[in-house]
């Protein structure tokens, strides 16, 4: 049984609890919320199964951009730690400028 099927089964259980026994307004609201949550989770699982190729490419693209940003920050922190900063073609050491 897939995750979507499990969520749909759980939603059906909550729906059955609403129809079989008289409930207080709070219990009714809670069971309806739980049913809706399980239904939404099932729909999300089904969407992911159909569109997983989209999210995989998007995650890869975001990861590459994030990794490049991390690398740039790491290089900048290395320059600052060494007391220098980058100009167009050289590294200038601030200790030597005075």
Instruction: Compute CA distances 31 → 11, 22, 88, whole Å.
Output: 9, 12, 65
Tell me if the pTM is above 0.85: no
CA–chain centroid gap for 96, Å, is 47
The string of pLDDT tens digits covering residues 68-95 is 766 666 565 556 556 554 444 444 454 5
With b meaning 16 or more CB within 10 Å and e meaning fewer, what string describes 57-93?
Answer: eeeeeeeeeeeeeeeeeeeeeeeeeeebeeeeeeeee
Residue in 35, 54, 81 with CA at minimum distance from that of residue 73: 81
Structure-token match 């990794």, residue found: 67
- pLDDT one-digit tens code per residue, 13-71: 999 988 878 889 999 999 899 999 999 999 999 998 888 776 666 566 666 776 676 66
């Amino acid at each position: 049984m897939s995750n979507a099927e499990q969520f749909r089964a759980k939603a059906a259980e909550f729906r059955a609890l609403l129809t079989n026994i008289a409930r207080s307004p709070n219990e009714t609201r809670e069971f309806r919320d739980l049913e809706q949550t399980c239904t939404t989770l099932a729909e999300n699982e089904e969407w992911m199964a159909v569109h997983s190729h989209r999210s995989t490419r998007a995650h890869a693209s975001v990861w590459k951009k994030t990794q490049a940003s991390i690398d740039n920050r790491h290089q900048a922190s290395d320059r600052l730690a060494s007391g220098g900063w980058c100009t167009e073609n050289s590294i200038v050491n601030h200790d030597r400028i005075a």
